[in-house]
A and B are shown apart, each in its own frame.
Chain A
Amino acid sequence: GEKVEQHESTLSVREGDSAVINCTYTDTASSYFPWYKQEAGKSLHFVIDIRSNVDRKQSQRLTVLLDKKAKRFSLHITATQPEDSAIYFCAPGGAKLTFGGGTRLTVRP
């Protein structure tokens, strides 16, 4: 089955700096690449996604880059704010999503 890895379990940045969270996957059939955010003690909610027919998608301060050849996609957050502090999960797949282990992002004042 699909194997999804987020190699950085933690990431710390200063407020206002950029953060990059990476995800690798193994299943070349994956066609949908979303990111989810989980704030402390809360459930997960959808952040941004990209489909396999494009390699870049931007929404305000968030950008997702997809490299299908390398089987890797990444979440870029610019001008980070304290409220960006959370665990971010990648979840490539199709109708069934496989989640990575998560990257805890801390934005320091």
Chain B
Amino acid sequence: EAAVTQSPRNKVAVTGGKVTLSCNQTNNHNNMYWYRQDTGHGLRLIHYSYGAGSTEKGDIPDGYKASRPSQENFSLILELATPSQTSVYFCASGDGTGHSDYTFGSGTRLLVI
């Protein structure tokens, strides 16, 4: 079954440390997305990608980098984690046609202390 898998499910990081969140999809979708979800803000787009080698800034990219080394994998990188980046992060994939739904991963709960 096609799916989006995120790892880790939970992560505790120290302020100033580097954090990498990983996402793998078996949908063969061109597009992949990273969102964060905070109470009162819904989901906000951090970075997205149209295919291997491409990354684009979303609405709140500051403090985050992204990497898309292959069709299947899309990573979100926090080079210097801060407590304000404590959140739940969701990865999603989409076929990029502009009229079909996304498939979401199960989410990564990140706590920065």
Complex partner residue of B105 from A1, A43, A51, CB under 8 angstroms: A43
Give the size range of B's interface with the partner.
Answer: 20 to 34
Tell yes or no: B20 within 8 A of A by CB: no
A residues less than 8 Å from B33 (CB atoms): 96
Count: A-B pairs, CB below 8 Å:
54
Complex partner residue of B102 from A42, A51, A97, A98, CB under 8 angstroms: A97
**Nearest residue in A to B97 (C-beta to C-beta)?**
A95
A-binding residues in B (CB < 8 A): 31, 33, 35, 40-45, 48, 58-59, 90, 94, 96-107
What distance in Å separates the Cβ of A100 from its nearest Cβ neighbour in chain B? 6
Complex partner residue of A43 from B40, B90, B97, CB under 8 angstroms: B90
**Nearest residue in B to A90 (C-beta to C-beta)?**
B42
Complex partner residue of B42 from A42, A45, A89, CB under 8 angstroms: A89
A residues less than 8 Å from B44 (CB atoms): 99
B40:A101 contact, CB within 8 angstroms = yes
Chain A to chain B: the 6 pairs with minimum beta-carbon distance, closest first: A94-B98, A46-B101, A99-B43, A101-B42, A95-B98, A32-B99
13 CB < 8 A contacts A-B: A1-B59, A32-B99, A34-B101, A43-B107, A44-B90, A89-B42, A94-B98, A95-B94, A95-B96, A98-B59, A99-B43, A99-B44, A100-B42
A102 to B35, CA, bound (A): 14
Complex partner residue of A96 from B45, B101, B107, CB under 8 angstroms: B45
A99:B90 contact, CB within 8 angstroms = no
**Nearest residue in A to B40 (C-beta to C-beta)?**
A101
**Nearest residue in B to A44 (C-beta to C-beta)?**
B104
Using known A-B contacts A89-B42, A95-B31, A101-B41, determine if residue A43 contacts B98 with beta carbons closer than 8 Å: no
**Residue-wise interface mask of A (33-71) relative to B, using a CB-CB cutoff of 8 A (1 in contact, 0 not):** 010100000111110010100000000000000000000
**Nearest residue in B to A89 (C-beta to C-beta)?**
B42
A43:B42 contact, CB within 8 angstroms = no
| Besides the known contacts A51-B99, A95-B98, A99-B44, 8 further A-B residue pairs in the complex with CB atoms under 8 A apart | A44-B43, A44-B104, A45-B104, A49-B99, A49-B101, A97-B94, A97-B102, A98-B59
